[in-house]
Each structure stands twice: as structure tokens, then as C-alpha cells.
């Protein structure tokens, strides 16, 4: 009982943290009909800045890291990416009024990863004083790419069975498409620059100090966008909304469990476990949608983009992040 109350008060205090407050503020002003918008050029630049910074930091750390320790978490990231897509695909297939292609694409998007949510997670962890392996951010592609590949393969298999229209899926083009997307490109570029060059000074004077502030603006944009996409979601089956509210937390908890195993087996840090859960709970907002659009052209984008942007991401950030942190405090002690 006391634990629940502590959990509750911690949750309310998280809602007052800038990261979540700006997200909710964005939803609120959009709901009140505000015409405030942040130009798209600014949005794209902020996403670039955040992912480059996350990558730079990861890259500088990987240089000094014990790469062996990364193997099990990376393997679990692949497992989570695949498992969440499979669970999502067959869960959505059971629900009424959902076209199978739409369900597969939605499961793929929720299995894939959001760089913005990852950035938000690192800021909340740092604010809470919870440390994590700096290379943990590099788990992103290990979860993101398998999820997108698997979703497109599953869709192709289904379509071939149904009416023979599904093509044989070439996997490498999907992997390439993911790696070339702006989000993963920025992250990997940052890792490479952090690993092979000396960006310390420009990191300390530019990317690091601007990170929290730019993230607050990004959260505001994502809140505004979440509300704007609700209308799109209203036009598709309501079960998408239910899935979008439940899947981020379910996916996050699966990753938390596997992360816990890695903690026991190889000493993966509690902060790393939380970050793995945050990554798993997120749904792709930048690179995933165009990849799925190209890979499953018959799926209706309103279903998967609507459910991810308008419900999945707010749930992943505003409920998921505090949930995994609270859980870590229960499981690993204060």
C-alpha cells in the first residue's frame, strides 16, 4: 500500500518534469484549438540534433566500453523487436474490424523504435540520477530493424497466402532503407563521429547544453501532433486505440523482464534495463512510417501512424517512462 502511494506520488512528480509537462502542454493547447505550431524545418533539425547528440555520447563511451557486455542486451533487443511484432500481429488479428495488413503494419510500428522517446528517456534518467551503460543507446537499431523487417515479411507471407499478391521479400533493401532513414543515420553518424574523432569540445559546448531545451520543444511538437492525429485515428477501428494504449506498456514490460535477466546474468545496469524498456515501449515516428508505407503499400497509414502518434507515443513517454523507473526502484531497490 505504501509502495503504491509512493509510486503514485512519484508518478505525479514525473508529470511535472519538463519532458512530460511539455508533451501534455502540447496536447492541451492543441485540444484548446491553439494555432501555435513549430515549423517543420525546426522539428527536423531538433530531431537531428538530439539523435546526433545521443549518438556522439554513445560513440565516445563505446570507445572505452567492454563490448562483450553489449552482446546479451543486443541479442535481447533483437528478441524484443521480433517478439513484440509477432504478439502484436496475432493480437490485432483476433480483434474485430481490423484488416490484417493494417494490423501487421501497426504491430511493426510499435515494435520499431522512436528516437525522440529514446532521447526523452535519457533526459529523465539523468534527471533522476539513474546511470546506465552509455552504449545502451546503440541498442536502438538492434530492435528497430528486425521489427520493421519482420512486419514486412509477415505482411508479404499473409498477402501471398490470401491472394498471391505478396512478393518474395528481399530483406537487405529493408535493412538498408532503415539504416538510411534520417533518424538512424543521425544516430549512427553520431556514434561514428564519437568513436573515431574528437568531438568533446563541440559536444560539451553545443550538443550537450542544448539537449534538454531542444527536447522540451520536441515534446511540445509531439503533443500538438498527437492531438492533431486523433482525428485520423477516429476514422479507423476503435480497437487500434485500445492496442495503442496497451502495447507500449506491454512491450516495455517484456523488455524489462529480458533486461532483468541480462542484469542477473551479465550485470546489465538497472538504468540500462529501464532504457531497454523505454526503447521497446516506443513506437517509430520518423523512419518507421515511410519504410512501412513502401513495404506494405496496401496497409492504411491512418491506422498505424494515427495509433502510434496520437496514443502510442504519449503513453510510452508519459506513462511508460515513470512506470519502468518506479518498477526499477521496486525491483533493484532505491
> Judged by CB under 8 A, does residue 228 bind a second copy?
no
For a second copy, the binding residue among 182, 230, 249, 253 (CB under 8 A) is 182
Q: How far is the CB of 103 from a second copy (least distance, A)?
A: 27
CB of 263 to a second copy, least distance (A): 29
Q: Does 127 sit near a second copy (CB under 8 A)?
A: yes
CA–CA gap between residue 275 and residue 137 (Å, rounded): 8
The answer to the question of residue 294 lying near a second copy (CB under 8 A) is no
* Contact flag: residue 198 with a second copy (CB under 8 A): yes
Which member of 129, 161, 163, 201 binds a second copy (CB under 8 A)? 201
Closer residue to a second copy, CB minimum distance, 16 or 165: 16
Nearer to a second copy, 47 or 70 (CB): 47
Is 293 a binding residue for a second copy by CB under 8 A? The answer is no
CB of 200 to a second copy, least distance (A): 9
Q: Taking CB under 8 A as the rule, does residue 82 contact a second copy? A: no
Near a second copy by CB under 8 A: residue from 10, 99, 160, 212? 212
Q: Choose which of 44, 162, 234, 235 interacts with a second copy (CB under 8 A).
A: 44
Query: Could you say which residues in the range 1-30 bind a second copy, by CB under 8 A?
Result: 15-18, 21-22, 25, 28-29
User: If DSSP states are collapsed to H, E and C, what string results for the chain?
Assistant: CHHHHHHHHHHHHHHCCHHHHHHHHHHHHHHCCCCCCCCHHHHHHHHHHHHHHHHHHHHHHHCCCCCHHHHHHHHHHHHHHHHHHHHHHHHHHHCCCCCHHHHHHHHHHHHCCCHHHHHHHHHHHHHCCCCCCHHHHHHHHHHHHHHHHHHHHHHHHHHHHHHCCCCCCCHHHHHHHHHHCHHHHHHHHHHHHHHHCCCHHHHHHHHHHHHHHHHHHHHHHHHHHHHHHHHHHHCCCCHHHHHHHHHHHHHHHHHHHHHHHHHHHHCCCHHHHHHHHHHHHCCCCCCHHHHHHHHCCCCCHHHHHHHHHHHHHHHHHHHHHHHHHHHHHHHHCC
Pair 245, 91: CB distance under 8 Å: no
CA dist., res. 181 & res. 295, Å (int) = 14
* Straight-line distance from the first to the last Cα atom of the chain, in angstroms, rounded to the nearest whole number: 17
Q: How far apart are CA 101 and CA 289, in angstroms?
A: 14
The verdict on 121 binding a second copy (CB under 8 A) reads: no
Q: In angstroms, what is the minimal distance from the CB of 163 to a second copy?
A: 32
Binds a second copy by CB under 8 A, chosen from 81, 199, 281, 314: 199
Least CB distance to a second copy at residue 199 (A): 5
Q: For residue 40, state whether it binds a second copy (rule: CB under 8 A).
A: yes
Number of residues that bind a second copy (CB under 8 A): 50
Q: Does residue 192 bind a second copy (CB under 8 A)?
A: yes
Binding of a second copy by 218 (CB under 8 A): no
Note the residues at the interface with a second copy (CB under 8 A). 15-18, 21-22, 25, 28-29, 32-42, 44-45, 48, 127, 176, 179-182, 185-186, 189, 192-193, 196-199, 201-202, 205-207, 209-210, 212-214, 216, 220
Amino acid at each position: 500500500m505504501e509502495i503504491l502511494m509512493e509510486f503514485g506520488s512519484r508518478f505525479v512528480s514525473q508529470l511535472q518534469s519538463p519532458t512530460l509537462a511539455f508533451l501534455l502542454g502540447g496536447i492541451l493547447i492543441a485540444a484548446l484549438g491553439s494555432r501555435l505550431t513549430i515549423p517543420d524545418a525546426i522539428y527536423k533539425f531538433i530531431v537531428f540534433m538530439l539523435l546526433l547528440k545521443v549518438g556522439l555520447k554513445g560513440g565516445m563511451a563505446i570507445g572505452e566500453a567492454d563490448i562483450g557486455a553489449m552482446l546479451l542486451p543486443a541479442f535481447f533487443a533483437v528478441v524484443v523487436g521480433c517478439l513484440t511484432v509477432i504478439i502484436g500481429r496475432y493480437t490485432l488479428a483476433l480483434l474485430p474490424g481490423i484488416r490484417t495488413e493494417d494490423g501487421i503494419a501497426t504491430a511493426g510500428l510499435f515494435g520499431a523504435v522512436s528516437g525522440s522517446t529514446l532521447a526523452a528517456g535519457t533526459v529523465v534518467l539523468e534527471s533522476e540520477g539513474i546511470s546506465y551503460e552509455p552504449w545502451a543507446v546503440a541498442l536502438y537499431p538492434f530492435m528497430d530493424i528486425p521489427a520493421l523487417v519482420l512486419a514486412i515479411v509477415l505482411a508479404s507471407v499473409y498477402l501471398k497466402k490470401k491472394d498471391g499478391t505478396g512478393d518474395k521479400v528481399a530483406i537487405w533493401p529493408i535493412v538498408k532503407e532503415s539504416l538510411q532513414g534520417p533518424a538512424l543515420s543521425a544516430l549512427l553518424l553520431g556514434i561514428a563521429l564519437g568513436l573515431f574523432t574528437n568531438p568533446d569540445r563541440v559536444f560539451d559546448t553545443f550538443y550537450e547544453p542544448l539537449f534538454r531545451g531542444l527536447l522540451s520543444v520536441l515534446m511540445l511538437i509531439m503533443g500538438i501532433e498527437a492531438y492533431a492525429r486523433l482525428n485520423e485515428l477516429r476514422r479507423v477501428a476503435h480497437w487500434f486505440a485500445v492496442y495503442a494504449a496497451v502495447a507500449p506498456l506491454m512491450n516495455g514490460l517484456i523488455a524489462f523482464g529480458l533486461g532483468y535477466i541480462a542484469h542477473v546474468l551479465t550485470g546489465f545496469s538497472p538504468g540500462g534495463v529501464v532504457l531497454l524498456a523505454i526503447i521497446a515501449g516506443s513506437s517509430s515516428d520518423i523512419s518507421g512510417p515511410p519504410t512501412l508505407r513502401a513495404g506494405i503499400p496496401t496497409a492504411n497509414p491512418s491506422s498505424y501512424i494515427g495509433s502510434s502518434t496520437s496514443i502510442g507515443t504519449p503513453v510510452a513517454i508519459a506513462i511508460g517512462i515513470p512506470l519502468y523507473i518506479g518498477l526499477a526502484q521496486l525491483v533493484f531497490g532505491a
